[in-house]
Structure 1
């Protein structure tokens, strides 16, 4: 497995202190030997193909898999456990699809109950006002693409009909799965968020837990 430091030093451009930590003008694993160590090909998708990650380079527990689930949440709900770095889609009374995730760095993680208020395929990205205060040099807009911080799909979390500015989204930084690196959003591999996207609809309940509870 290549190190995070080596992965970062091979990427062009300045850091993005938002839902992403680095940016890259063109993600081309087949021509970049360091990125090629992470990617094994592409999955067809529109308007961009989704780079597929070599899962053998990940901790096995963070690979997408069906697991036993004993929580009280109903089938069809999403449960994010910040401490475990896991997202569960409850599929049956005693079963869930589990995805490894990256979460917000210390002090940026959110917890609570929300709903999926909107879904987007290859979304564009705009930093929040808080992000701009922390890092004024951030671009004010980034169009959809392989270097976009939201990746291939995004689920926008809402409370009481209002966007709370937290997302479940993809990432082009596979090394960040299982880490605390974002500004609060929950990130999955692009191929995983594309899978999750097909399984949930607008209105899905999302529980985000920290320290075993989701109530603030």
Structure 2
């Protein structure tokens, strides 16, 4: 069995473990999201043999795992990159920002100028900013900033969807919860898509 199959299978099996729902509490006057229980974060039994305090995004499950000691993990439901825009690989958190500003990448401007040209000079941080309440910036040792992010959103309907330009997104209050746990230089693995 390939490592990818093992990790993917183990991560899938982890969802079946006994879990305790974690409530999403809207801090900082964020709107209260009326999320169904299936979209709330859960602490689960995590059967993959991975070190604690890493982020693993499994796009085919629309899941982000924050690994914990004793083979436990927090599982968040996320939105991921659209087909052709998701980039698998190993990264590290090279920057962390609260209410980050946002500027569309050159690729975004080229693909959809009618949508993004109005923001070519950037957009200040705030609730309607595409990066939401918090962002973890993914870096690669050779490339530096990859322009990939794990970030907040105020659009809960995008969870469990292939909607982004390559980033993983959580609703804002869940992103704040995750952000508060993740230090600089944390290892982040974006697992390959099967589709």
Where on the TM-score scale, by shorter chain, does this alignment land: which range?
0.7 to 0.9
Gaps of 5+ in 1: 1-41
| Residue 110 in structure 1 maps to residue 87 in structure 2 | yes
| Residue 149 in structure 1 maps to residue 109 in structure 2 | no
Paired residues for 1:33-48 under 5 Å: 43-45=26-28
Taking the aligned partners of 1:103 and 1:211, their CA distance within structure 2 comes to: 10
| Structure-2 residue corresponding to 1:12 | none
Gaps of 5+ in 2: 1-24
Give the aligned length: 166
1:62 Cα deviation from its structure 2 partner:
2.7
Pairwise CA RMSD of aligned residues? 1.7
Paired residues for 1:164-203 under 5 Å: 164-203=146-185
Name the structure where helix makes up a greater proportion of residues. Answer: 2
Paired residues for 1:24-173 under 5 Å: 43-45=26-28, 49-56=29-36, 60-137=37-114, 138=116, 139-140=119-120, 141-160=122-141, 162-173=144-155
1:209 Cα deviation from its structure 2 partner:
0.6
CA contact (8 A) 2:150 2:169 kept: yes
SS in 2 for 1:51: coil
SS in 2 for 1:55: coil
1:107 Cα deviation from its structure 2 partner:
1.1
| Structure-1 residue corresponding to 2:14 | none
1:75 Cα deviation from its structure 2 partner:
0.2
TM-score calculated relative to the size of structure 2 = 0.81
TM-score calculated relative to the size of structure 1 = 0.73
